[in-house]
A = this chain, B = another copy of it.
Amino acid sequence: GDAMVDHHRSLRQGFPEVVFGAGKSAGQIERIMASLAARGNNILVTRLDEAKALAVKEAFPVAVWHAAARCLTLEQKPAERRGRGTVLVVSAGTSDLPVAAEALVTLRMMGNDAEHLYDVGVAGIHRLLARREALAAASVLIVVAGMEGALPSVVGGLVDRPVIAVPTSVGYGASFGGIAALLGMLNSCAAGVTVVNIDNGFGAAVAASKINRD
């Protein structure tokens, strides 16, 4: 019934409807998507594993499965391009890629131009510095990093535009599932960095999208 459709985090007009896939069965996701699709909306499902995604795709063959991002999208009409510039997602290690990818899919579903700069960790600072032009060209930056979470401080020192930091749960031992990175980012010595929840690539993209809107 209606109780299955949880509207409490729905976004505003012009944006897709978003379904948080974690903890929902393929059947539940299908029913929610059907009800949303009937209203003509574009749909973004996040936090999906491959098995569930393939099951859902049988009901919605047009839907696209983004494996790295663990997201499924259904575009019934093209997302309206409204951003003032490019949102740049910056990430360091291989293991941060899924969170970066979730941000990228979300950004594009919300009508932004989005690019990805990866493999630029702080322990090999020259790789980051070699890309200063890309950094300077962005209108908003999302910086994804696990372990010590230092990348947003360095990036924040190189650019003048808003930086949104996303800690990831990548690491072991005293990384405490992302707490070390989260604390590092909250204490960033680069003024003006803001932070979202651990692994919340989606939330960072929504914030960046609001900033990027004219």
Contacts and interface: CB of A to CB of B under 8 A. Distances in A.
A134 interface: no
A18 interface: yes
Contacts of A175: 183, 187, 197
Contact of A192 (B171, B199, B207): B207
Contact of A187 (B24, B161, B197): B197
A51 interface: no
B162 A173 contact: no
A102 to B, nearest CB: 12
Interface stretch (A2-10, A33-41, A71-79): A2-10
Contacts of A24: 94
Contacts of A148: 148-150, 153, 183-185, 187-189
A153 B189 contact: no
Given A8-B121, A148-B149, A162-B210, A196 B186 contact: yes
A103 interface: no
Contacts of A154: 122-123, 125, 150, 154
A129 interface: yes
15 contacts: A92-B189, A122-B154, A123-B189, A129-B129, A147-B189, A148-B187, A148-B188, A162-B210, A173-B177, A173-B178, A174-B197, A182-B186, A183-B183, A184-B184, A194-B204
